[in-house]
Structure 1
Amino acid sequence: MKGRNMTRWRDPAKDPRQEPKSNLITAEGAERLRGILDHLSRVKRPALSAKVGEAAALGDRSENADYTYNKKELNRVIARIRYLTKRLDELTVVGRLPADTQRVYFGAFVTLEDEEGEELAIRLVGHDETDTGKHWISVDAPLAKALLGKSLDDEAIVAAPGGETTYLITEIAYRDPQA
């Protein structure tokens, strides 16, 4: 079968997309996802439904670009609502600090120093709340896996495309989820 639905074959054993993702999320991340779901359900979906209804009332739908666009957008929003509803049911909210705050665990703010002396401040969060702008990385990322369980002044060796990189942990901090 040829066409737009064909993709190249990937070995499932080596495909990183097949790796199981952790179902952890911070309390603020879960609240943000609930807010997005609420906005999509109570604001965006009704507005798009009204637009689709207005465009459909104009007549011929086959040449009605407004109807076609809004219908596609409505379907996209409905799919996102379905995904978020299912995903929120699967997630485990981590709403407490770890017993040992001197080690790197989920939710930690970690400051690293590389071999050249450059600092990198990151936070270990769930897959659904990663943000490159804030330097929040998934707990499933190779760097995060190398850091888990380490303490202050420990070294973490991470395999990178350009070779292995060694990081020194210079600071570990946590934000109290109850605050």
Structure 2
Amino acid sequence: MPTTQPKPNYISAQGLAALQARYDALFHGERPKVVETVSWAAGNGDRSENGDYIYGKRRLREIDREVRHLSRRIKQAEVIDPAAHPDKSRIFFGATVELADGDDNRRTVTLVGDDEADAGAGRIGWNSPLAGALRGASVGDLRTVRLPAGPKEWEVMAIGY
């Protein structure tokens, strides 16, 4: 049975640095402190009613789970430099796009890695429905996005990198 390669995790250099900083903060900062607390609490006797021990073990599992997730995402990371893209007239990773809907409501979004997405700040993940609909579009193109409330059409007004 052939093994499937994991999808690359497209990300900007800043996004990768943020993932690595979070990994380091958890693995080298918070985790050793929690391990120390759990070790101290375990030495106090009865663990069944020891809040420091119970909370510490739970927090340690949460940290380990997040560290494993971050480790996988960092390993799969493929850093993309949007400025190096040869065709700046089309929408690809890193593009900042001004959109207008049928009522001429404007919205500006930047296509970023899924780990960098923050819809409130206008950064949408590369694998989101809107980003998928916009990929490869040029100024003036109409793109339809399938949303739970129904399809919505957007016109590409401007593209920047």
Give the structure-2-normalised TM-score.
Answer: 0.89
- Aligned counterparts, 1:16-95, within 5 A: 22-95=8-81
CA distance in 2: counterparts of 1:158 and 1:86, whole angstroms: 30
Amino acid at match of 1:123: T
**Runs (4+) off by over 4 Å:** none
CA distance in 1: counterparts of 2:58 and 2:149, whole angstroms: 42
Amino acid at match of 2:135: L
CA distance in 1: counterparts of 2:143 and 2:120, whole angstroms: 23
- Aligned counterparts, 1:1-179, within 5 A: 22-97=8-83, 98-174=85-161
CA distance in 2: counterparts of 1:159 and 1:96, whole angstroms: 26
Q: What is the Cα deviation at residue 22 of structure 1?
A: 4.9
Amino acid at match of 2:72: K
**Residues 103-162 of structure 1, C-alpha deviation per residue, up to 9 Å, x if partnerless?**
110111111111111111111112222112212111111211111111112111112223
Unaligned runs of 5+ in 2: 1-5
**Residues 49-87 of structure 1, C-alpha deviation per residue, up to 9 Å, x if partnerless?**
111112112111011122101111011111211221122
Task: Indicate the percent of aligned positions where both proteins have the same amino acid.
Answer: 37
Give the structure-1-normalised TM-score.
Answer: 0.81
Amino acid at match of 1:80: E
Q: Would you tell me which structure has more helix in proportion to its own residues? A: 2
